Structure 1
């Protein structure tokens, strides 16, 4: 059997929010590396009874890579679970660069992003006609990798798009101070901690009030912050479904 590494999005943490492909790959995997800090252990029930489970929360990138390369060298199938979707803040590029250098084959299976699970939990559409038609997915810098100079929060705030802030919950008061000029004190803010997991917590507030709620709850990680007028549930109607829209031209193109 030829070994391979499957990078699999584990979604926001709920065992029933994995894709069908993800559950199939977990069932077939002989080695599973998973982020214990962010993952509900129930997700691992999809793994086979004989799979070797490796919690990566105390491993650096090189140590994780060594485990994967060694397993593939033994002809084993590896699943590297990432929280949310591998396309966001998963260190996918660093890991696959190392696997390429070692001649190890790999592929990627997407997962439900944490922000999508958070929006679903509160019934929010992040793009509302005449209010916001863009979503900015970003993070801020504290004790983490430096942000490019062109991606300052103030630059994104100037668009007044719906902002989704990852990995930023410990700086929420400072962030709201940076956003108040563009969004205003009354702009709605939603914080979802561990969306879809047993310890889920939803906080609803505004730019002026959300920091007090976050600090009172003692949130330190695994939370998504959403900011924007689209969260008001007010706005215009979509042209796509407007009763006055001419649909005859579209029907004609289908014949």
Structure 2
């Protein structure tokens, strides 16, 4: 059996209870070494075989999974954050389907949730933004043209931008092109929830300079939107003149 496990956003105690139990039982762990906190491997038993997929191809990852299955061993494929976001999980599952190997998925805490917690921010504030756009800049790996940054920026919603720290000068221009002003609040969250986490508050127009001043070149999320400012409306759900299934409005 193969268990795809979301490692969480960085801090080792932010893995789920289910994920930690699977790590403790695993005979083989294949982990995304470029992003997963290596201290999570401390959950593994002494006899567990651990492989860093940052140094492996897809074929090599699948080969290790097949070997483990043939030896009747349980494998954990440990992905950063939650494997459903930029996890390259589908291509692995398709190959396992072809091989007739069973698998399941254990969700994790994505770094975009970890970043919000570190910022003490709410991405969906009444009358400010009720949508969150998770995306990334096109680089060596393209994105569909209809999903370019400027087209998303036109919505004025909260944006969480992955895998783009090395492209901040261009990112700022695309955000402004799409409709954000240069003084729209923004934040750079480096290694959210890790011990060496760093948070930089800035604006759309100062993203590049802020990252350069703090020597941040990778492993950071970019958050953009007026939810990082102070003005918003209170939730109607808890308003005293608002009835719900559980509470009558006060006269």
CA contact 1:203–1:210 (8 Å) conserved in 2: no
2:50 alignment partner, one of 50, 53, 58: 53
Count how many residue pairs are aligned between Structure 1 and Structure 2.
247
Q: 2: distance between equivalents of 1:128 and 1:31?
A: 43
In structure 2, C-alpha distance between the alignment counterparts of 1:129 and 1:175, rounded to whole Å: 27
Distance in 2, Cα, partners of 1:183 & 1:237: 24
Q: Aligned partners of 1:219 and 1:245: how far apart in 2?
A: 46
Map of 1:172 onto structure 2: 168
| Paired position in structure 2 for 1:100 | 97
Alignment of 1:114-129 (within 5 A): 114-129=111-126
Once the two structures are TM-superposed, the CA of residue 172 in structure 1 deviates from its matched residue by: 0.9
Equivalent positions of 1:51-90 (< 5 A) are: 51-90=48-87
Report the aligned-residue RMSD.
1.3
Counterpart CA distance in 1 for 2:174 and 2:54 is 32
Following the alignment from structure 1 to structure 2, what is the Cα–Cα distance between the partners of residues 61 and 215?
A: 34
The 3-state SS of whatever aligns with 2:86 is coil
Residue aligned with 2:167, SS: helix
- 1:26 CA displacement: 0.3
User: Could you tell me whether the CA contact under 8 Å between 2:184 and 2:203 is conserved in 1?
Assistant: yes
Change (3 A) 1:233 1:45: farther
Q: Mind listing any 5+ residue stretches in structure 1 that lack a counterpart?
A: none
The separation in 2 between residues aligned to 1:14 and 1:73, in whole angstroms, is 34
Q: Is the 8 A contact 1:14 1:42 kept in 2?
A: no
Q: Deviations over 1:15-68 (max 9, x none)?
A: 100000000000000000111111222111111121111111111111111111
Q: Secondary structure at the match of 1:36?
A: coil
Q: CA deviation at 1:251?
A: 5.9
In the aligned structure 1, how far is the partner of 2:161 from the partner of 2:15? 23
Aligned-residue offset at 1:178: 1.2
| Structure 2 counterpart of 1:137 | 134
Q: CA deviation at 1:198?
A: 2.2
1:250 Cα shift?
Answer: 5.0
Q: Please, which runs of 5 or more residues in structure 2 have no aligned partner?
A: none
Partners in 1 of 2:247 and 2:228 — Cα distance? 34
Q: CA deviation at 1:174?
A: 0.7
Q: Distance in 2 between matches of 1:137 and 1:233?
A: 22
Relative to the length of structure 1, the TM-score reads 0.93
Tell me how far apart the structure 2 counterparts of residues 246 and 26 of structure 1 sit (CA, whole Å): 46
- Determine if contact 1:124/1:233 at 8 Å carries over to the other structure: no
- Name the structure 1 match of 2:16: 19
